[in-house]
Structure 1
Amino acid sequence: MIRRTILEWETIKYGAASDEIPAHAADRIAAVATASPLAGRGGGGVLEHGRNRLRARGVVGVIAAEGCALEILPKIDFPGEDGAEMTGRIRRRLVQMLAVALDLKIDAGQITAMDWQRETLLEILIRLFSEKLVDAVRQGMPRRYVEYADDLPVLRGRLDVTRQFTALAAEPSRLACRYDALTADVALNRIMKAAVARLVRIARNTDNQRRLHELAFAYADIAAVPVSALRWDEVVLDRTNSRWRELINLARLLLGERFQTTSAGGNSGFSLLFEMNTLFEEYVARMLKRALADTNLRVVSQGGRLYCLETDDRRGLFHTRPDILVKRGGEIVQIIDTKWKRIATRVEDRKQGVSQSDVYQMMAYGQLYKCNRLTLLYPHHSGLTKVDGVHAAHQVTGSDRRLESATIDVSRSEALSERLRAIAIPIR
């Protein structure tokens, strides 16, 4: 199988070399990428399909077609490392970011045992899911009482009087029964079966295939339901089955709209893709909530929802949703907007590559939400001379508001909460 790995916004040329991709494989992968919901109206939101190269955009993950796969990883700097070692570190950091965003717990043993340098992101996520599911099934599948209605030769439960004296009036040997029975054929188990059935078709790692086949046997008596018909709303998690929460989150990821089986030119394919902008925002919001948990500040993600304009009859136009609001009581004390892009390293560039549209957006937020502290937060990278934190702060003309540009180094998981806390609560 042809397997290649590149970083976001990088290109890979067509050819037979190890750092190139055969043109026929590139065509198949590009066709699958075009079918992704993230591809956009023009079909180029995931990959640019050129005459002699493929170019990744700001979407990461795995795209696979018949006989080939392309893995796209985020551009995260690990100074002093390159090649397979750096690729493994990036995969590991990406999985840790996903774990925070999806509220997953990955113990140290699992992290150590992963083959980060050789396995793709997809196989790593399949391993996490299948290992956790095997452990959960060994402790027992969730079961609950479900009401059944059946015509039986002996009474079970209670008699359905209406049906007995209408539909069964001429058949006294049958009794219309309504009864409750404990069953494992419930929504949560149907979701797990659907995830196993999908992954067993695409896993390539031998250990993953073995675990998934064992799980398929364990779920043999559970009804097979198409992914589109799964009843996520019927899943009830309480203290008796709370250990399944992480598995539900992983199943949502693996069965969600961004992971799909597509048909591309007669060849089946699939993709597991993430917008780094969205992942970075969710990761920062959750980590900031942890960082400020012992303060009087509260973090609200995707809150606000005020309108920029109103019509004459007071209907709102142009909805706003700031990425992160930091509140003290009912007051908004800081608005943070995350941007997964690199700010400039040139000393002579006083704007640091911050776009004018981002500045206008933050000024609108400040006015609408009556907030005097506005922060644009970017990923830190090795080209910056300063450590992560607030890099620049400017006064908004004619007001008391200040607009900051800051970075956070996601390659360093240690003390990340403290570094985010310093951005939210600056040292005076």
Structure 2
Amino acid sequence: MSNTKLIQVFEYKKLKIGEFGFSKNHFDAMVRFNEKNENKYFTIIHNGILFNSYVGVIQIGGLTIEILPKADNNDNPEKGTWQSVLLQMLKVCKHINIDNVSETNLKKKYNSILDIYFEMYLNEIEILIKKGLIKKYRRVQSNQLALKGKLVFTHNIQKNLIHKERFYCEHQVYDKDHLIHQILFKGLIILKDLLNNEFKDKLNRLLFQFQDYQEVNINKSHFDIVILNRNSVSYSRALDIAKMIILNYSPNLNSGNDNMLTLLFDMNKLWEEYIYRILQKHKPVGFSVSFQNSDKFWEYKTIRPDIVITNDNNENFVIDTKWKIIDVKKPSDDDLKQMFTYNLHWEAEKSMLLYPKVNQEDTKFGKFHYNGLEKKCKLGFVKILENAVLIDASIISKSIFQKLI
């Protein structure tokens, strides 16, 4: 469905120059992008890239690189399966709103998850246009033949020293050419270089609706000052996607003409948030689930377990999520020390290190020996796939709660 070249790789795998259409120009662009971001997204190796825990999409000109998660021992994993797993996790964690894309479109094969964001963006703006784009007051400065609003003395002296009949004023106008629409317009302009042919017609129709609006160089500060009210709240979803597109877009990072758009997620954090959200949604009666708790540890340092579960008896249980495949039967010394600290600070009798399951079995709760306190920890493994499909969230949640008993 696309005229762009797609490369799909898995986390912690290598991509070398010359493989699958990956060129020296693409490599150089990724090196510059990674250096700009403190080398956190991947590792540069000789003539190639070694991916790490970040999954998602990198689009460089006509090349799309999709980095997929993987939690199995299959030497030839099904890429479509893990793309679907990533999509579902992003949906549960509210990083993507698949409901905005029609059921018919969901059944088709997307080139990458970026295509879903792009289609959602176009659909949202199309809906807003059909409803009628809103007007807002905005302040403008311009030369006028009559005093209108407030005279800007400094500019008036600079510009009208000779033309005494003119006034450089600041005044309000009420129209559609305001910051919200300028942001949406900028997002559409960026998509001109990124969209495949299937969406080009819709993009051009939408751009026509914005032809009289100012093109502004949008940055993070513009999003910070946008305040939505009752009349503009319907813009929130389109603005969220516009923010993703604009702030993750890097024009001309190398000497060529390839622009770059990235959408990357730390799989460790995504797994942590996914587990929290399904536990929160499907928790049994009498339990509460909290996320990203924090407690003072030493001086200004704090500690933060991933998930804390509390029952009606005020008993706490701590879960620390780990997105990796291990084949051991006991926690590491470092993990045990960390979990023991969690047990103490949150007065939890039981704690668990939770991993995706391949063929491992849960360990029994082992006891910490400290002043006669009953503190325990175990390794837990949760199955997420059944017949190459992500298992229903309620089933995963139920199995996790059972592991704490």
Give the TM-score taking structure 2 as reference length: 0.78
Displacement of 1:392 after TM fit? 4.3
Residues 176 and 67 from structure 1, CA distance in 2 versus in 1: closer, same or farther, beyond 3 angstroms? Answer: closer
- Among candidates 377, 380, 384, match of residue 403 of structure 1: 377
Partner residue in 2 for 1:98: 90
Q: Deviations over 1:382-405 (max 9, x none)?
A: x3155xxx6543222333222232
Residues 253 and 303 from structure 1, CA distance in 2 versus in 1: closer, same or farther, beyond 3 angstroms? Answer: farther
Measure, in 2, the Cα distance between the counterparts of 1:332 and 1:26.
56
Residues 249 and 149 from structure 1, CA distance in 2 versus in 1: closer, same or farther, beyond 3 angstroms? Answer: closer
Residues 337 and 58 from structure 1, CA distance in 2 versus in 1: closer, same or farther, beyond 3 angstroms? Answer: same
For the 8 Å contact 2:57–2:114, the answer to whether it is kept is yes
- Among candidates 279, 283, 306, match of residue 288 of structure 1: 279
Measure, in 1, the Cα distance between the counterparts of 2:141 and 2:100.
49
Partner residue in 2 for 1:343: 326
Name the aligned partner's letter for residue 309 of structure 1. W
Measure, in 1, the Cα distance between the counterparts of 2:176 and 2:212.
9
- Among candidates 338, 347, 361, match of residue 338 of structure 2: 361
- Give the 3-state SS of the residue equivalent to 1:224 in structure 2: coil
Q: Deviations over 1:196-217 (max 9, x none)?
A: 22222122x2122222222222
Q: Deviations over 1:212-266 (max 9, x none)?
A: 2222222233332223265212222344333333223323332335x53451354
- Give the 3-state SS of the residue equivalent to 1:190 in structure 2: helix
Equivalences for residues 66-77 of structure 1 within 5 A: 66=61, 68-76=63-71
Partner residue in 2 for 1:307: 296
Measure, in 1, the Cα distance between the counterparts of 2:363 and 2:133.
52
Measure, in 2, the Cα distance between the counterparts of 1:108 and 1:229.
25
| Seq. identity, % | 22
Tell me if 1:319 matches 2:285.
no
Residues 403 and 282 from structure 1, CA distance in 2 versus in 1: closer, same or farther, beyond 3 angstroms? Answer: same
Displacement of 1:178 after TM fit? 7.7
Tell me if 1:33 matches 2:49.
no
Give the TM-score taking structure 1 as reference length: 0.75
- Give the 3-state SS of the residue equivalent to 1:374 in structure 2: strand
Aligned pair count reads: 391
Name the aligned partner's letter for residue 29 of structure 2. V
For the 8 Å contact 1:30–1:47, the answer to whether it is kept is no
- Give the 3-state SS of the residue equivalent to 2:289 in structure 1: strand
For the 8 Å contact 2:297–2:303, the answer to whether it is kept is yes
Partner residue in 2 for 1:57: 52
Displacement of 1:290 after TM fit? 1.9
- Among candidates 188, 193, 215, match of residue 224 of structure 1: 215
For the 8 Å contact 1:261–1:269, the answer to whether it is kept is yes
Tell me if 1:384 matches 2:374.
no
Q: Deviations over 1:131-161 (max 9, x none)?
A: 23322332222433335677766797xx659
For the 8 Å contact 2:6–2:64, the answer to whether it is kept is yes
Q: Deviations over 1:359-410 (max 9, x none)?
A: 3222222223333332222223xx3155xxx654322233322223223444
Residues 194 and 181 from structure 1, CA distance in 2 versus in 1: closer, same or farther, beyond 3 angstroms? Answer: same
- Among candidates 245, 250, 266, match of residue 260 of structure 1: 250
Residues 266 and 394 from structure 1, CA distance in 2 versus in 1: closer, same or farther, beyond 3 angstroms? Answer: same
Name the aligned partner's letter for residue 70 of structure 1. I
- Give the 3-state SS of the residue equivalent to 1:340 in structure 2: coil
Q: Deviations over 1:47-87 (max 9, x none)?
A: 44335x654322222334455443221115599x977xx32
Displacement of 1:323 after TM fit? 2.4
What stretches of structure 2 of length at least 5 have no aligned partner? Answer: none
Q: Deviations over 1:98-123 (max 9, x none)?
A: 22323543239635424764612322
Measure, in 2, the Cα distance between the counterparts of 1:252 and 1:362.
37
Range 238-247 or range 122-131, more displaced: 238-247
Name the aligned partner's letter for residue 136 of structure 1. L
- Give the 3-state SS of the residue equivalent to 1:372 in structure 2: strand
Measure, in 1, the Cα distance between the counterparts of 2:32 and 2:103.
33
Partner residue in 2 for 1:313: none
Q: Deviations over 1:34-53 (max 9, x none)?
A: 23358875x474144335x6
Measure, in 1, the Cα distance between the counterparts of 2:175 and 2:312.
47
- Give the 3-state SS of the residue equivalent to 1:94 in structure 2: helix
Measure, in 2, the Cα distance between the counterparts of 1:144 and 1:268.
36
Partner residue in 2 for 1:122: 114
Equivalences for residues 141-220 of structure 1 within 5 A: 141-146=133-138, 181-203=173-195, 205-220=196-211
Q: CA RMSD in A?
A: 4.0
For the 8 Å contact 1:285–1:324, the answer to whether it is kept is yes
Measure, in 1, the Cα distance between the counterparts of 2:312 and 2:225.
35
For the 8 Å contact 1:103–1:246, the answer to whether it is kept is no
- Give the 3-state SS of the residue equivalent to 1:70 in structure 2: strand
For the 8 Å contact 1:88–1:116, the answer to whether it is kept is no
For the 8 Å contact 2:307–2:319, the answer to whether it is kept is yes
Q: Deviations over 1:270-293 (max 9, x none)?
A: 23322211222222223332223x
- Among candidates 128, 135, 138, match of residue 136 of structure 1: 128
